Amino acid sequence: MIDYIFSKSKLGLAPMSEINNKIFRQICKYMGAYPVFTGMISSDAITRNHANSFQLAEFDDYERPLGVQLFGYSFETVSKAGQIINERLKPDFIDFNSGCPVRKVVKKNSGAALLKDLKTLNLILKKLHEAVKPTPVTVKIRSGWSRVNLKEIIRAVEDSGIEAIILHPRLAVQGYEGNASYDLLKEAVSSTDLPIIASGDIDSFEKAVFIMNSTSCFSVLVGREARSNPFIFTNPYVLPDDKDRISVALLYLLRSFLASGEKAFWSSKPYCAAFTKGISHGAELRRNIFQSSSFYELYNVLHDKWERLDESSYPEIVFLVTELKKKASLL
């Protein structure tokens, strides 16, 4: 089953809270991401039938294989949430987050705080596995809380029924500072028979290939880099031109408009700005993006620049924009 979920020849989209919405996931999927994840979702909110949390978990079949990522502290709540998600949405797998270092998460003894309570982490994973089987369960970890105790963490999770470990090789107290330690990835691979999936600081296709070859990890997930460069998932990777980057921004904006109307304007701004990273005169364009006051003004900011550019390494993306313009009656 794990061979279906993760690929040795494709990069996956790592779970990112407040970023991995359906439209962003589908753009990454179109580029080649395999698998994709939702952002982190509260188990407690799912058991209380919180509508916004269910919306975060919803997906289209096109996105498969897809994993829903849950977090929480109580094994009863996490297992119940997993069962609810599994029965209602039928994801390809469920990932449990025990690696998030964000204060509002760890102060509730969730996320990376569980690395300080391995007995509870083991129990949560066992109960989650029992609640959703045969749907696979994976776990996201770091290399420790304030000291490296990676082998101890792996021993605590590997007999719980999980099928893979996703490792961000930093300490929780580091947050996102410093560098991910790929020596720790190699150590993890040699410490268990479970597949180790690498995550953290993957900022180029070449780096992903290097990490897989040098650590023998099973697969690689891309996080923050994907927000500004979803082209990283293409294989073979070709450096996108300015028109390609603006095409993705327009693609996101138009799909948001078709899904939600003009109300999607505000939430689209940060994505459109991120996608334009690396283009010539990008700072000016991003300033105009954030200063726009309506959907149509934002559309025109991007479209005017897009029409003035000719070179494209991804003509299929340019074609998609043209097709969506027709659907949105913007031709």
Catalytically active residues, by annotation: 100
* Cβ atoms within 10 Å, residue 64: 17
Is residue 76 within 8 A of residue 104, CB to CB? The reply is no
The H or E element containing residue 171 is strand 164-171
Distance from C-alpha of 130 to C-alpha of 221, rounded to nearest angstrom: 26
Tokens of 148: 């490296």
CA 298 to chain centre: 26
Half-sphere exposure of 303 (CA within 13 A, CB side): 15
The residues with which 137 forms a beta bridge, in sequence order, are 94
Give the integer Cα–Cα distance in Å for 191 and 181: 16
